[in-house]
Structure 1
Amino acid sequence: MKKFNIILLTSTLVHLSLFAQTHTKIIDMHIHSYTESEFEGKEPDQDYYGNKGSKDAESHRLETFAAFEKFNIVKAMVSGNPESVENWVTKDSNQRIIRGILMYTPDDYDMDSVKFEQMVKDNKIEVFGETAPYYGGTTLSDSIWQPYLQICEKYDIPVAVHMGGGDPGGTYSWSPKARLKLGDPYTIEDVLVKYPKLRIYMMHAGGEDWPEHALRLMAYYPQLYTDLAVMLWVEPNTQRYIKEFIKNAKEAGYLNRVMFGSDQMKFPYAIEKSINFLKSLDFLTDKEKEDIFYNNAAIFLKLKE
């Protein structure tokens, strides 16, 4: 009977542990949306492992929404063409979507600072990002981005900036001005100095190229956060880098500013892969994983329960 009770207790504890893991609230700080016309294009149709992505933009939305439901993703920062983001919002009955905007250059979508400020006032932009100056051959510190950053500071709009490199070969096709040096986190230092009240987070934690620069920047600027994003799933080398980054962030005491993001792009299954990889890191406590999955982002976003 004693042996049976021990087995029963062990089984119950395992069940409760799995239950807790399954139902952990998650905020995904890095989701992409697409219109049908732009779904085919610059991003590859299959991932590093040969898995194909969604067949079209609507399938992609449905599969991503299904992942939100399955993994208890209660909030998701969605960036893309404003048309695609609004399409997602209208179909988001659970009010999960945080409106972002994907911009490579300051005049994407015929944008200017006047139009941008009106969109902010109309609650059409809740996060300025993913901003990806890297792909357009600039950095966020360049003068052309300053009117947008001034508006973000004025209205307390968070900024999400792509850091690290991009897709291999992109410089020879859709992003000819992209250069690896433009993805160095140090390129945004002037922004951090000029706008000390700005809520800003790096995407990809500096990527494969600059994880130590990302950590040093976080050390100097305690308002700076980061997400983990594509590094969690895209291929073994990025997983190697991000594992070390998380270890070093923990040792340095910056883990409370690390946030989960999947960067699922055309591959909604990347959400599950990202979650599973993060959960597999045995050097993190359950509390630390919960903080990365939810608590840190909730604080950054100033969410009210």
Structure 2
Amino acid sequence: MTAGRIIAAGLVLLSAAALAGDRDERGPIIDVHLHAYGSDAFVQPSPNPVTGQVPELRSEAEHMQATLAAMHRYNIVRGYVSNDNSPLEVLRRWRAADPVRIVATPYFEGTPGSPLPAIAALRTEYAAGWLGAMGEIGAQYGGLSADDPKLAAYFALAEELNLPVGIHTGLAAAGTPYRCCPAFRVSLGNPRLLEEVLIRHPKLRLYLMHGGWPYLEDTKAIMNMYPQVYADLAVIDWIIPREEFHDYLRALLRAGLGQRLMFGSDQMLWPEAIGMAVEGIESASFLTPEQKRDIFYNNAARFLRLGEE
């Protein structure tokens, strides 16, 4: 081996050791909000809204491998992945690639591109044992309120099968009603709309995706009144201005909700968003190490009842 190769090999080993050290120091992470896509999503992929960089990924397989690599790098030991307007077969392939780490969970909106699935068919898939949760339910994109009768059977099924359910709350990309989803309305993202659902289904394990942002007061009200409701911090932990995110997170902590906040990345087409989301939590200097561990792992483990598996 030449001197140059020895040096190069040494640098690789040092980098690997440093990365392993970061993973050990950080501890395990549960990401409750990830997405899988078919290859058609990468024909003309949108740029990362923060960095402006267009993904170099050009296929479902490349996206999956890049996401799994990012999960390994940041010590994400469990990821809840939904199929975001792609066939369920995409989720089957992700789960097959890493059945220990990947939990498959169906996405639906009630839009032409993501219709509400037939309840009987959905029940069959759960009975087969390969789906582990429900959601993201993106009903807001289809112009549906959380308490719309069209969604009633899905919440009933989730309660019956004791499934954790993630529902989209808050906002979406700027201009959404002018592009993909003409029925999308900001008002439909208010967590307050879930109250009648929670009254009808007291055993439903539900989490507010995107933390209910920017509906702070209604998020605090719903979470304080209904202790079975948790929230993930997905997308707001990397896509909105950092100061705004930290102010929102601090307000939820002041309201006594620190043990019901869960880490999520919502990496979408950009696997690098996983690291950006992790940094969004780690850079919150007001969080104690214990609070960070709660957000990164403990709260989700409790909500998902991982110790009961």
Task: Return closer, same or farther for 1:106/1:142 CA change in 2, 3 Å cut-off.
Answer: farther
Q: Is the 8 A contact 1:54 1:268 kept in 2?
A: no
How far residue 214 of structure 1 moved from its aligned partner, in angstroms, is 1.1
Determine if the alignment matches structure 1 residue 104 to structure 2 residue 106.
no
- The CA deviation at 1:240 is 3.0
Q: CA deviation at 1:53?
A: 2.5
Task: Look up the match of 2:49.
Answer: 47
Residue 231 of structure 2 corresponds to which residue in structure 1? 226
Specify the code of the residue in structure 1 equivalent to 2:303.
Answer: F
Q: Is the 8 A contact 1:225 1:257 kept in 2?
A: yes
2:217 aligned residue (202, 212, 218)? 212
C-alpha displacement of 1:241: 3.1
Deviations 1:141-171 (Å, cap 9, x if unpaired)?
A: 1100111111111110111000011111121
Q: Take 1:106 and 1:148, find their aligned partners in 2: how far apart are those partners?
A: 16
2:118 aligned with 1:122? no
Matched, 1:186 2:188: no
Of 135, 141, 147, 2:147 maps to 141
Tell me by how many angstroms 1:206 deviates.
Answer: 1.1
Equivalent pair of 1:164/1:210 in contact (CA under 8 Å): yes
Q: Tell me how far 1:123 sits from its aligned partner.
A: 2.0
Q: Which of 43, 60, 65 in structure 1 is aligned with 2:63?
A: 60
Once the two structures are TM-superposed, the CA of residue 60 in structure 1 deviates from its matched residue by 1.3
Which of residues 24, 28, 31 in structure 2 aligns to 1:28?
Answer: 31
Equivalent residues of 1:104, 1:136 under 8 A apart: yes
Read off the aligned partner of 1:161 and give its amino acid letter. I
Determine the C-alpha separation between the residues in 1 that align with 2:43 and 2:189: 25
SS at match of 1:130: strand
The reply to whether residue 161 of structure 1 matches residue 167 of structure 2 is: yes
Question: Which secondary structure does the structure 2 equivalent of 1:232 belong to?
Answer: coil
RMSD: 2.0
The gaps in structure 2 that reach 5 residues or longer are 1-17
For 2:245 and 2:197, locate their aligned partners in 1 and report how far apart those are by CA, in whole Å: 25
In the TM superposition, residue 242 of structure 1 has moved relative to its aligned partner by 2.5
Superposed displacement of residue 19, structure 1: 5.0
Counterpart of 1:132 in structure 2 is: 138
Mapped to 1, the partners of 2:24 and 2:237 lie a distance apart of 18
Q: Tell me the distance in 2 between the aligned counterparts of 1:135 and 1:106.
A: 7
Q: In 2, Cα distance between the equivalents of 1:190 and 1:54?
A: 44
Provide, for residues 72-96 of structure 1, a one-character-per-residue CA deviation record: whole Å limited to 9, x for no partner. Answer: 1100000013121111011115x10
Q: How many angstroms apart in 1 are the aligned matches of 2:115 and 2:187?
A: 26
Contact 2:108 2:116 in 1 (8 A): no
Equivalent pair of 1:47/1:53 in contact (CA under 8 Å) = no
Structure 1 residues 139 and 110: CA distance shift in structure 2, 3 A: closer
- Long gaps (5+) in structure 1: 1-14
Contact 2:109–2:115 (8 Å) recurs in 1 = no
Shift of 1:129: 0.5
The aligned length equals 284
Aligned to 2:9: none
CA deviation digits over 1:188-221, x for unaligned, max 9?
11111111100000001112x3122111111111
With over 3 angstroms needed to count, the CA separation of the structure-2 counterparts of 1:230 and 1:152, relative to structure 1, is same
Percent sequence identity over matched residues?
33
Counterpart CA distance in 2 for 1:149 and 1:39 is 32
